[in-house]
Amino acid sequence: MALAARPFHANHAPFLDSHDDPLARALQPPADESPDERAAREQKQREATRISHEIDEDIQESRKAFERRKKAIKILLLGEQTLFLAFFFALSSSGPPSRPPVAP
């Protein structure tokens, strides 16, 4: 059977226990951690999580603002062309041109 046709979990041996997983071992708190050190570590984790959420919210707000700005620019360009044509027709005594002028 080809390697790509097999499911992902069949290509990699799962870790039977978190003690076998090097990433899980690296993320575990130290065994000799005092209660004060634990409280300080947990406070740092909460602060890091709060900052991460603030950054995520800022990114989402920036995306929304960009989408609104992009739509507003499109509306503005259509408005400019419409105003230009109306101004041109008002000045022209011979009627509308055979081809609309291109806005600068």
pLDDT, one tens digit per residue, over 34-55 is 999 999 999 999 999 999 999 9
- Residue 97 reports pLDDT greater than 70: no
Residue 14 near residue 24, CB atoms below 8 Å: no
Residue 85 near residue 101, CB atoms below 8 Å: yes
Domain boundaries, the chain: 39-92
Is this model's pTM higher than 0.75 or not? no
Phi, psi values for residue 46, rounded to 5°: -65, -40
| Mean pLDDT of all residues belonging to the chain | 73
Cα 94 off chain centre by: 53
pLDDT of 24 reads 82
Considering only CA atoms, which of 19, 43, 17 is closest in space to residue 31?
19
Contacts of residue 101, defined as CB under 8 A and 6 or more positions apart, other chains included, come to 84, 85, 88
Of 54 and 74, the one with more pLDDT: 54
